[in-house]
Amino acid sequence: MARQITLIPGDGIGPEVAKATVRAVQASGSQLEWERVAAGARALEESGQLLPDDVFASLEVTRVGLKGPTTTPVGAGHQSINVALRKKLGLYVNFRPVRMLPGLKTRYSDLPLDIVIFRENTEDLYSGLEHEVIPDVVESLKIITKTASLKIARATFEYARREKRRKVTAIHKANIMKMSDGLFLKCCREVAASYPEIEYTELIVDNACMQLVMRPETFDLLVLPNLYGDIVSDLAAGLVGGLGIVPGANFGDGHAIFEAVHGTAPDIAGKGLANPTALMQSAVLMLAHIGERAAAAKLRRAIERVYAEGRHLTRDVGGTAGTAEFTDAVIQAMA
Ligand code: NAD
C-alpha cells in the first residue's frame, strides 16, 4: 500500500517548488500518495482559516508532512503558521544540514563544508508573548525551559553519536542573558557530560557568526535556541550557495514535517525562477525518514549530478535555468 504523506504547498514560490519536488520524488521510484492540504495566506483567503483543521486531521493520520513556505506578515497581522504547527505538534527539533553541493561555485567552493544545525523549535522569543506595558513600551517574553533545552541537546548528541560526528558547539548569549541562555547552556553541558567521546565547545552568538564566516570548516554540529538558530541558519545557507539549497526537518516524538529553510520569496514568486533544490533535499530527508532509503539515495545522487554538471542550474546559483528545466534535469539524471 502506498505510504501517505501530507503535502502543504504553501504561499509564494511554495506551490512551484512543491510541484517540482513531487515530480522528482515520483521519478525516484518511491510509492507515495500525497494528501494535499492548504495552509497559509492562500488558505486564509479561501477558507477563512490560516491553519484549517484538515491540516491537523491529515497529519494525525500520515504523521509525516512535506511543506512549502508560508507567508507571515511583518509587524502586524496573523501569527506564524510555522510557529503554530511546531508548537501544536511538539516538533521540538529543527534539523538543518548545510552541505556544499559538488561543482557549485560559491565563495567557499574549496571547502568541504558539512555543518548540521539543531535549532530549538518551540520556545525562546518565538513564544509570541508580547504586550504593551504602558503606551510606547513593549515587552516581549523570552521563554527558555529546562525540558525543551534538554530535548534539543539530547537530539544533537544522539545524532552526533549515531553519525560518528566529532564536535558539538552550543551557541548562546549567556554573558548578557545570564538566566535564560544560562539555563540553555547548563542543559547542554549536562547532556554533553554523557557523551565524552564527542568534543563539546561553546561560543557567544556574535563571535560564532564571525567564526562561521572566517573559518566555517572548523564547525561540525551546532545547537542553538530558537532565534539564534533561525538567524544562523540563513548565514550558514549563504556559505553553501544560498537559501535555494538548504533543506530542513522538524521532528517531534510523533510527527515530522520536512521543509526548506527559505521563505516564500515574493520577489520571484509566480515567475518560474525558484530553485526547488532545498525542498527536493528536504524530500530526500523525508524519504530516508520513512525508510525509502533507495529512493532517497537516488534523488540525492541525481541532484548532485545536476550540480556537478552545472548545465541546468537556476539563477540564484549562477545558472540560467528556470524551475522546470532544473527539475527535468534531475528527473533525467534518475532515468
Ligand atoms: P525568503 O527566504 O523568502 O527570501 C530571501 C531571498 O532569498 C529572496 O531574495 C528570495 O528570492 C531568495 N530565495 C529564497 N528561496 C529561494 C529559492 N528557493 N530559489 C531562489 N531564490 C530564493 O525570505 P524573506 O523575503 O525574508 O521572507 C518572505 C516571506 O517568507 C515572509 O512572509 C516570511 O515570514 C516567510 N518565511 C517563511 C518561512 C517558512 O514558511 N518556513 C521561512 C522563512 C520566511
Binning pLDDT at 50, 70 and 90, where does residue 73 land? confident
For 174-236, the DSSP string reads TTTSTTHHHHHHHHHHHHHTT-TTSEEEEEEHHHHHHHHHH-GGG--EEEE-HHHHHHHHHHH
Q: Distances from the Cα of 41 to the Cαs of 54, 56, 260, in angstroms?
A: 16, 17, 18
Cα 62 to ligand 1 centre (Å): 27
Cα separation, 207 vs 190, in Å, equals 23
Which pLDDT value is given to residue 36? Answer: 96
Binning pLDDT at 50, 70 and 90, where does residue 283 land? very high
pLDDT, one tens digit per residue, over 132-182 is: 999 999 999 999 999 999 999 999 999 999 999 999 999 999 999 999 999
- Please report where in the chains the cell 557549485 appears, as a residue: 104
**Contact between 258 and 67 (Cβ < 8 Å):** yes
pLDDT, one tens digit per residue, over 296-326 is: 999 999 999 999 999 999 999 999 999 999 9
What residues flank ligand 1, with Cβ below 6 Å?
A: 13, 17, 69-72, 82, 243-244, 259, 262-268, 274-275, 278, 316
- Atom 26 (ligand 1): residue with closest C-alpha? 263
Q: From the centroid of its chain, how far is CA 51?
A: 19
Q: What is the pTM of this model?
A: 0.96
Helix H or strand E segment including 20: helix 14-27
**Coil/strand/helix, residue 44:** helix
Which pLDDT value is given to residue 31? Answer: 87
In 3D space, the residue among 303, 293, 291 whose CA is nearest the CA of residue 333 turns out to be 303
In 3D space, the residue among 140, 109, 108, 89 whose CA is nearest the CA of residue 259 turns out to be 89
